[in-house]
Amino acid sequence: MKRVGIPKALLYYRFSPLWSTFFRELGFEVVTSDPGGRGFLGHQPISYFEDSCLPMKLLVSHCLDLAEKVDVLFLPRLISIHRKYIMCPKFRGAPDIIKLAAGRETEVIDESFDSRLGSNPWGSFSRAVGKRLGLRWGEVRAASRGAHSVQEGFERDLAKRINGLPIRDLFALEVPTPETHGHPGDLNIAFIGHPYNLYDVDVGKDVLGMAKKFGCRIRIADSLGGHEIESKASGLSKEIYWSSGREIVGAALAFLARDDIDGVVFLSSFKCGIDALLQEYLKRVFKVQPAGTMPFLTLSLDEHTTVQGLATRLEAFVEICKDGRPRGPRT
């Protein structure tokens, strides 16, 4: 039985149910890096292959950690995960960076995933992967369909899982989704950002768990309808062509328009090009909002971020949110 390695980095935090179910159903043993979920920073050395954002640097470290333990690494070349919009350009070069960093003898499944082409991108992607691994199409199709429905179920439950489960169990499919009921006094705080900033303990330092301890109910972009996000994002003077950027801006504007949200926290990675640009945009939009501002906190994350530093800022922010929304634009 072949072992497939899936690095716990970047879009693992969005597609892990899909990817791992797919390979498991095809009879592979799925190995993920950092099985304890403790994170890399402080436990293992980080490899700096290029001077990129922290999530990208972590990808290199996770892959190097996995490379010796598995037969093949799974690192698709993610061009686009949306019908019209694209991913950050760094994702396009990621498999090449990994091949150079890990040595060319490492086998990497780096098939391109481009949702702009064709009506069934996941189907054609899984077909290409199956072909490369020498599997029969019937088998691959069954696995890819099964995996797809697992992913859909997971996405439906994600908002509940975040409020009910600790972060290390978030992507453990064997842990069932708990029924959670909020307390009446809870603050509703929206967290926006790339999924790896939110859920990777190395990047985000479990800021969601921290917020829960401070008595917040967490709202994420996935709990809004895709339609609501899209309608906000498409009203801008220029199309944002990164799907993640659209989601961030659309969700922020949607949360801003809602009455049941007490504050918005934006988690951004230092050196992330998309975050840097959109953060500037959101900051100004929240400031010039005519209807009155909503507390908005930007947390910039890098390898020097400490849990204590984040906790201090978050606690102060929660206090501001408790005072209720200030009326009228702040100066």
Partner 1 sequence: MKVTFPHLGTMHIFCKAIAETAGIDYVVPPKTSKRTLTLGVKNSNECICLPFKVILGNFIEALELGADTIVMVGSGPPCRLGLYDLVQKVIIEDLGLPYRWLTIPPRLDWPALVKNREETKELKKELTFKNIATFPYALWIGWKKMVACERLEKLALRVRAREIVTGRTEKMLRRALGGLDEAKTGEAIQRATIEGERILGSVDQDGGHEPLRVAIVGELYTVMDPQINRGVERKLGEMGVEVTRTSWFSSHIMRSLGVGRENRNERLRYYQASLQYLGYDVGAECNVSIGEAIVRAKDGYDGIVHLMPFACMPETTASGILDRVGRDLGLPVLTLILDEQENEGRIITLLEAFVDMLTWRRQEFH
Report the Cα 295 to chain-centroid distance in Å: 23
- Give 41's contacts (C-beta < 8 A, 6+ positions apart): 202, 303
Q: Is 212 in the site for partner 1 (CB under 8 A)?
A: no
Site for partner 1 in 81-120 (CB under 8 A): 86-90, 92-93, 95-97, 100, 110, 112
| Residue that the structure tokens 């498409």 belong to | 234
Q: Determine the size of the site formed for partner 1 (CB under 8 A).
A: 41
Q: Is 330 in the site for partner 1 (CB under 8 A)?
A: no
**Residue of 284, 292, 312, 316 that binds partner 1 (CB under 8 A):** 284
**Residue of 119, 136, 185, 237 that binds partner 1 (CB under 8 A):** 237
Closer residue to partner 1 (CB): 80 or 144: 80
Amino acid letter, 302: D
Q: Is 273 in the site for partner 1 (CB under 8 A)?
A: yes
- CA 110 to CA 130: how far, in whole Å? 12
Closer residue to partner 1 (CB): 277 or 316: 277
Q: Is 49 in the site for partner 1 (CB under 8 A)?
A: yes
| Residue that the structure tokens 């069954």 belong to | 142
Q: Is 202 in the site for partner 1 (CB under 8 A)?
A: no
Closer residue to partner 1 (CB): 96 or 319: 96
Strand (E) positions, 105-175?
A: 108-109, 112-114
- CA 230 to CA 241: how far, in whole Å? 12
- CA 174 to CA 150: how far, in whole Å? 12
**Residue of 274, 294, 310, 321 that binds partner 1 (CB under 8 A):** 274
Query: Least Å distance between CB 311 and partner 1?
Result: 23
Q: Two tokens at 58?
A: 């972590």
CB 46 within 8 A of CB 57: yes
For residue 230, the tally of other CB atoms under 10 A from its CB is: 15
Q: Is 308 in the site for partner 1 (CB under 8 A)?
A: no
Query: Least Å distance between CB 153 and partner 1?
Result: 32
Binding part of the chain for partner 1, among 18-26, 31-39, 148-156, 278-286 by CB under 8 A, reads 278-286
Query: Least Å distance between CB 96 and partner 1?
Result: 5
CB 315 within 8 A of CB 214: yes
Return the DSSP state at 44: S
Smallest CA-to-CA distance from 200 within 52, 132, 301, 93 is with 301
Q: Is 63 in the site for partner 1 (CB under 8 A)?
A: no
Binding positions for partner 1, rule: CB under 8 A? 49-52, 77, 79, 86-90, 92-93, 95-97, 100, 110, 112, 236-238, 240-242, 270-281, 284-285, 287-288
